């Protein structure tokens, strides 16, 4: 009988704690912590989706926020056009993000290294400016989303219900990414990140595997975008600002690349660090900036590195 790995235990503890959060909020009698936590959970979903390509696939995309924007805008635009059913909205929004990821990925993956970083940034900027140019949907002012997606009797306007939906999406995303990582698909992806030539020599169509990963990551991030639009009841181009893409990368690296649970921790710690530092001083970035550098230099395995992958290790 194998003991469960520390990481799996950690994941379970985290999810149980997250699931108990609404009870805490109801004791406190204040919805606000729940609103904050919902946002953390949504951005964690986006970070986990980025980890699939960044952590496992070694593809440094500086444009992942574009898919967040596409998912969110799809919901915003459909609501503005009176399509409010979630059964229609959500699949279409995910499809839109996936198609965009396919096009962007198919082109970007022809490049390597720094060129890949820049071309993903370029595509994200293009999507950003398309958002700016949508005069009918608010342009730079953004778009107020008057009603959340409708799912029959499920009321997304209820904060607790919505929180659990977001949490379910996060758990599903983490499970999917963790599962993919263990399949042959994940092995090829990781292998190609380490040594592309060898994977090619072994006969794997590396480009196709990468593109598939890019599309899945884009679709999952689109899902996070759908949630974010419903959460904020508002969407504007700044949702896909390039700084947001950089934030997502920081979350992934902070938590630990190539571990489905790492980015979740990274996202939580990122917001907590932002928080505690900003409480000590308004000038929190003065500390956070150098911290990132120190982290990059000395702790590249991320916070998840504190928890060995298998029981018995380290």
Partner 1 sequence: MVRTFATAALMSACAVVYAHAEAGKIKIGYVNTFSGPNAFIGNDEKDGFELALDHLGRKMGNLDVQMIYEDDQIKPEVGRQVTEKLLQSDKVDVVTGYNWSNVLLASVKPAVDAKTFIISGNAGPSQLAGEACSPWFFSASWQNDQTPMALGELLNQRGVKKLFVLAPNYAAGKDMAAGVKKTFKGEVVGEEYTRWPGQVDFSTELSKVRSVKPDAVWVFYPGQAGAQFIQQYSQAGLLGQIPIYSSFTVDALTLPQLKELALGHVSTQEWVQDLDNPTNKKFVADFRKKYGRYPSYYSAQNYDAAMLIASAVVATAGKLDDKDAFRAALEKANFQSVRGKFRYNSNHFPIQDFYAQEVVKDPQGDYTMKTIGTVFTDMKDVFYEKCAMK
Partner 2 sequence: MSLLIEQTLNGVQLALLLFLVAAGLTLVFGIMDFMNLSHGSLFMMGAYFAATFVALTGSFIVGGLLAIACTALLGLAIEAIWLRPLFGRGHLDQVLGTFGLVLFFNDFVRLVWGAAGRTLAVPQFLAGHITLGPALTYPVYRLVLIGVGLVVAAGLYLLVQRTKTGMIIRAAASDRDMAGAIGANVTLVSTFVFGLGAALAGLAGLFAAPLLTVQIGMGDNILILALVIIVIGGLGSIRGAFLAALIVGLIDALGRAYLPELLRLVLSPVAASTAAGALSSVAIYILLAFVLLVKPQGLFPARGAR
Give all strands (DSSP E) within the chain, no chain letters: 143-144, 234-235
Between 196 and 274, CB nearer to partner 1: 274
Decide: is 278 part of the binding site for partner 1 (CB under 8 A). Answer: yes
Decide: is 282 part of the binding site for partner 2 (CB under 8 A). Answer: yes
Q: What is the nearest approach in angstroms of partner 2 to the Cβ of residue 59?
A: 10
Three-class SS state of 234:
strand
Decide: is 130 part of the binding site for partner 1 (CB under 8 A). Answer: no
Decide: is 295 part of the binding site for partner 1 (CB under 8 A). Answer: no
Q: What is the nearest approach in angstroms of partner 1 to the Cβ of residue 73?
A: 13
Range in contact with partner 2 (rule: CB under 8 A) among 21-29, 142-150, 279-287, 304-312: 279-287
Taking alpha carbons only, the member of 110, 127, 25 closest to residue 59 is 110
Q: What region does 259 belong to: left with phi over 0, alpha with psi -120 to 50, or beta? A: beta
CA separation for the pair 73, 146 (Å, rounded): 13
Binding-site partner at residue 283 among partner 2, partner 1, none, CB < 5 to 8 Å by type: partner 2
CA separation for the pair 245, 121 (Å, rounded): 9
Taking alpha carbons only, the member of 299, 244, 287 closest to residue 125 is 244
Binding-site partner at residue 43 among partner 2, partner 1, none, CB < 5 to 8 Å by type: partner 1
Three-class SS state of 150:
strand
Residues 124-153 that bind partner 2 (CB under 8 A): 125-126, 129-130, 132-136, 139-140
CA separation for the pair 314, 298 (Å, rounded): 18
CA separation for the pair 252, 212 (Å, rounded): 20
In the 8-state DSSP scheme, what is residue 144?
E
Q: What region does 37 belong to: left with phi over 0, alpha with psi -120 to 50, or beta? A: alpha
Among 1, 16, 114, 201, interactor with partner 2 by CB under 8 A? 114
Binding residues for partner 1 (CB under 8 A)? 28-33, 35-37, 39-40, 43, 132, 139-142, 144, 146, 232-234, 236, 238-239, 270-272, 274-276, 278-279, 284
Binding residues for partner 2 (CB under 8 A)? 54, 60, 62, 107, 110-111, 113-115, 117-119, 121-123, 125-126, 129-130, 132-136, 139-140, 242-243, 246, 249-250, 253, 282-286, 288-293, 295-297, 300
């Amino acid at each position: 009988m194998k003991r469960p790995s520390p990481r799996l235990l950690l994941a379970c503890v985290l999810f149980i704690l997250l699931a108990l959060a609404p009870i805490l909020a109801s004791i406190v009698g204040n919805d606000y912590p729940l609103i904050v936590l919902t946002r953390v959970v949504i951005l964690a979903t986006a970070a986990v989706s980025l980890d699939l390509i960044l952590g496992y696939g070694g593809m440094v995309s500086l444009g992942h926020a574009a898919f967040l924007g596409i998912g969110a805008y799809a919901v915003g635009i459909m609501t503005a056009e009176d399509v409010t059913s979630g059964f229609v909205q959500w699949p279409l929004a995910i499809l839109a993000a996936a198609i965009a990821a396919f096009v962007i990925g198919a082109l970007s993956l022809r490049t390597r290294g720094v060129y890949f970083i820049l071309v993903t940034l370029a595509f994200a900027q293009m999507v950003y400016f398309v958002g700016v140019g949508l005069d009918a949907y608010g342009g730079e002012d953004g778009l107020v989303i008057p009603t959340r997606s409708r799912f029959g009797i499920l009321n997304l306007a209820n904060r607790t219900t919505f929180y659990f939906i977001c949490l379910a999406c996060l758990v599903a995303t983490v499970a999917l990414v963790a599962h993919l990582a263990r399949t042959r698909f994940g092995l090829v992806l990781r292998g190609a990140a380490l040594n592309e030539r060898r994977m090619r020599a072994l006969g794997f169509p590396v480009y196709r595997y990468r593109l598939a990963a890019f599309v899945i990551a884009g679709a999952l991030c689109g899902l996070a975008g759908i949630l974010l639009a419903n959460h904020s009841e508002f969407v504007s181009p700044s949702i896909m600002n390039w700084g947001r893409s950089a934030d997502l990368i920081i979350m992934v690296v902070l938590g630990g690349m190539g571990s489905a649970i790492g980015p979740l921790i990274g996202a939580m710690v990122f917001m907590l660090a932002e928080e505690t530092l900003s409480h000590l001083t308004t000038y929190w970035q003065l500390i956070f900036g150098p911290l990132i550098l120190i982290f990059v230099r000395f702790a590249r395995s991320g916070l998840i590195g504190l928890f060995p992958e298998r029981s018995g290790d380290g």
